[in-house]
Amino acid sequence: MNNDTVMTETLAETFDSLNIFLPKEAKILKVRDTTPYERHFTLKYADGSKMLFEPGQILEVSLFGYGEIPIGLASSPTRENSFDIVVRTVGRVSTAINQLQSGESLYIRGPYGNGFKLNQLRGHPILVVAGGIGLCPTRSLIQYILDRRQEFKGFTLFYGTRDPAQQLFIDDLSDWRANENIDLYETVDKADETWKGHIGVITELFKKTNISADTRVIICGPPVMFKFVIHELDKIGISHDNIFVDLERRMKCAIGKCGHCQINDKYVCLDGPVFSLSDIIHLEEAL
Amino acid sequence: MTAYFIEEKDFNDFINQILQVMPVIAPVAKEPLFSFEELQNAEQLRLDYDLTILPPKKAFFPPQQVILRFNAGKFEGTVNPRKQVLLGVHLYDIKAIDQTDFLYTENYEDINYTAYRRATTLVGSNIQNIAKRAFWGSISHDVPAKGQDAFMTKLDAKGYLFEVFSDKGEELLAYGNFQAASQAQIVLANKINQDIKEQCPEKLNYSREEMASTIRQSFKNTALWDELAEDCFSCGSCNTTCPTCYCFNIEDQWNVDQTSGQRTRYWDSCMTEDFATISSGGGHSENFRARRGERMRHRIMRKMVYLNEKLGSQACVGCGRCAIACTADIADPVQIVNRIMEAAHE
């Protein structure tokens, strides 16, 4: 580093434009309570600029004084007037964010990472397996496929939650149930009196339909879910090159520096969060 | 490279002249070792130091760094470097700085690091005394040090050879009474810097490739990693004192007015228990490296395997700081690597 740069006070302003840690303000256009623990925000940059991203990419979302958290984009770039995130109340930052109302601001860095590999999905049957909050990042892809349906073949969605009250995007689900462009199969671990659908773990849904061996599969959900779903896919004979997993880690910086999201020598924020299974199945800390 | 000579009697004046113009961060005595501090005067300088408690990266990557300030929804960055000289850096630490320069520039350049680094003139100095757990003679020893603007070698009681490698190094000549070095002085300096490499108290007896391949093959030897980490307190001292560690955490703090505050990054340690933990709500959490053995494995893989291709050397420079800092004395890479190599042949 031998750049001989003479520093002056005024240069500090120029530095702001190069500073990857400075977020942009986004206005909350709409906020909905989706479950008792999750809120669904529709956002737009305050300066009117568009969020350019791929389904599966993540944002660092912050509230000054509380901190920053990594969150997957929950809407499709094909719906370009705004972008969505869903925040689960977990810790200090998410609790503070979930107090906000429409008209208030969040602060955003991103998008970061590699999304769902659309070029490898186009022209093939698609299965999305989403567990719990795993429907948030995959909703971005689901909307994308529905908006550009002719680019893909058969489209199946498996969605599992602990109980019916945990279901996210109630309005979307009711649309999708009626939509002939998507085959939706739902299950809950534990039913209540309102539930008329399937009860049991998500892998039982494989019995309800025929998933062909040339299907491209996207899995997103709690860590425990991956192994069981992969086991079912192995039985069908789907190549690990055609299975894509969306991983959750503690992505503090999202720029491949801070170290928290590492799986062996991979940075989830840079190399993921979407990986092809064949790239990570051999990594012991991955799944 | 151009080489100059400065006499011992003129040396303090050289340092004091720089101090008139800009800060000089250099080794001074600080119990129980030495420490890179901003010099008040040349007399404090201890170029005979063996090792500093913390590595010199703190001159541009401080343990705590405010990265933005906010006030009621308005915010601004804080990058505003000053010209400074970081002087008296040993070869192993120069190599570590060069690695960190690369890592903070690749993919996304972080100007919260690079702006301060670029404003720093890096002046190395030869190792006059050797720390008790040093092994830089046998790790990354074949990798040339890069990134220094100048390098000083104490030749004898009479003075120093001062080699210049960049314009920033050249600038310093204006502050001292330098003369052109003789060929004999250059040869002598080379010999001094070569001879010292043989004198480290600890030694790794394997090539970089041998170590990397055997350690990687030992990945799934859980019993071995658990054994190596059995006495670990998960305190993170090995990370905190490491010149090549660069991980950090980020947190916000309010000022007392509860309206303004700052976002701060600070050094973090992959050996601490919660480094890779995520919360998933409802009191549930997932720790992806919950066991001490897994964290030890991650640290050693980072130092000896994962970054080798990218850096052209291991991410360990053999300073021995971790070995000295570790309360349980289990952090020493020499002992760890030797144990892994032995286990592979058991």
Q: Do B281 and A37 touch (CB under 8 A)?
A: yes
Q: Do A3 and B118 touch (CB under 8 A)?
A: yes
Q: Which of A19, A64, A268 to substitute to test the interface with B, most B CBs within 10 Å?
A: A64
Q: Calculate the CA dihedral of residues A39, A44, A46, A47 and round it to 10 degrees.
A: 160
Is A224 part of the contact surface with chain B (CB cutoff 8 Å)? no
Q: Do B263 and A255 touch (CB under 8 A)?
A: no
Q: Give A-chain residues touching B220 at CB under 8 angstroms.
A: 284
Which candidate, B137, B143, B248, B286, places its Cα nearest to that of B197? Answer: B137
In this predicted model, what pLDDT tens digit does every residue of A132-154 receive, in sequence order? Answer: 999 999 999 999 999 999 999 99
Is B266 part of the contact surface with chain A (CB cutoff 8 Å)? no
The pLDDT assigned to B229 comes to: 96
Please give the Cα distance from A88 to A225 (Å, whole number).
19
Q: Give A-chain residues touching B252 at CB under 8 angstroms.
A: 62, 64-68
The whole-number average pLDDT for the span A236-244 is 97
The whole-number average pLDDT for the span A232-241 is 97
HSE-up of residue A123 (Cα within 13 Å, Cβ side): 2
The set of long-range contacts for A206-210, using a CB threshold of 8 Å and a minimum separation of 24, is A206/A232, A206/A236, A209/A156, A209/A183, A209/A185
| Phi, psi of B269, rounded to the nearest 5 degrees | -130, 125
What distance, in Å, lies between the first and last C-alpha atoms of chain B? 49
Percent of chain A at pLDDT exceeding 90: 87
From A11, A20, A64, residue closest to B261, measured CB to CB? A64
Share the mean pLDDT of chain A: 93
From B167, B278, B301, residue closest to A2, measured CB to CB? B167
For residues B197 and B48, the answer to whether their CB atoms sit within 8 Å is no
Quote the minimal CA–CA distance from B16 to chain A in Å.
Answer: 21
Per-residue pLDDT of chain B (346 residues), as tens digits, is 799 999 999 999 999 999 999 999 999 999 889 999 999 999 999 999 999 999 999 999 999 999 999 998 899 999 999 999 999 999 999 999 999 999 999 999 999 999 999 999 999 999 999 999 999 999 988 888 899 999 999 998 789 999 999 999 999 999 999 999 999 999 999 999 999 988 999 999 899 999 999 999 999 999 999 999 999 999 999 999 999 999 999 999 999 999 999 999 999 999 999 999 988 777 788 899 999 999 999 999 999 999 999 999 999 999 999 999 999 999 999 999 999 999 988 7
The pLDDT assigned to B105 comes to: 95
pLDDT of A6 > 50? The answer is: no
Please give the Cα distance from A243 to A234 (Å, whole number).
10
Is B148 part of the contact surface with chain A (CB cutoff 8 Å)? no
Quote the minimal CA–CA distance from A143 to chain B in Å.
Answer: 25
For residues A90 and B281, the answer to whether their CB atoms sit within 8 Å is yes
In this predicted model, what pLDDT tens digit does every residue of A160-171 receive, in sequence order? Answer: 999 999 999 999
Cβ-based neighbours of B170, under 8 Å, separated by 6 or more: B2, B164
What distance, in Å, lies between the first and last C-alpha atoms of chain A? 39
Is B147 part of the contact surface with chain A (CB cutoff 8 Å)? yes
Is B67 part of the contact surface with chain A (CB cutoff 8 Å)? yes
Q: Which of A257, A261, A270, A283 to substitute to test the interface with B, most B CBs within 10 Å?
A: A257
Q: Give B-chain residues touching A23 at CB under 8 angstroms.
A: 75
Q: Do B278 and A265 touch (CB under 8 A)?
A: no
Interface of B with A in 100-139 (CB under 8 A): 101, 103-104, 106-112, 114-115, 117-119
The pLDDT assigned to A173 comes to: 96
In this predicted model, what pLDDT tens digit does every residue of A167-183 receive, in sequence order? Answer: 999 999 999 999 999 99
For residues B140 and B211, the answer to whether their CB atoms sit within 8 Å is no
User: Helices H, strands E: what count in chain B?
Assistant: 12, 14
Quote the minimal CA–CA distance from A285 to chain B in Å.
Answer: 6
Q: Give B-chain residues touching A12 at CB under 8 angstroms.
A: 77-80
Chains A & B: contacts with CB separation below 8 Å: 161
The pLDDT assigned to A3 comes to: 46
The pLDDT assigned to A8 comes to: 54
The pLDDT assigned to A11 comes to: 74
For residues B123 and B87, the answer to whether their CB atoms sit within 8 Å is yes
Quote the minimal CA–CA distance from B137 to chain A in Å.
Answer: 25
Quote the minimal CA–CA distance from A213 to chain B in Å.
Answer: 31
Q: Give B-chain residues touching A15 at CB under 8 angstroms.
A: 77, 79-80, 111, 115
Q: Do B77 and A12 touch (CB under 8 A)?
A: yes
Closest residue in chain A to residue B258, using alpha carbons only: A65
Is A17 part of the contact surface with chain B (CB cutoff 8 Å)? no
Residue A9: pLDDT band by 50, 70, 90 thresholds? low
Name residue B33's beta-bridge partners. B30
In this predicted model, what pLDDT tens digit does every residue of B268-299 receive, in sequence order? Answer: 999 999 999 988 777 788 899 999 999 999 99
Q: Do B251 and A258 touch (CB under 8 A)?
A: no
Q: Do A19 and B220 touch (CB under 8 A)?
A: no
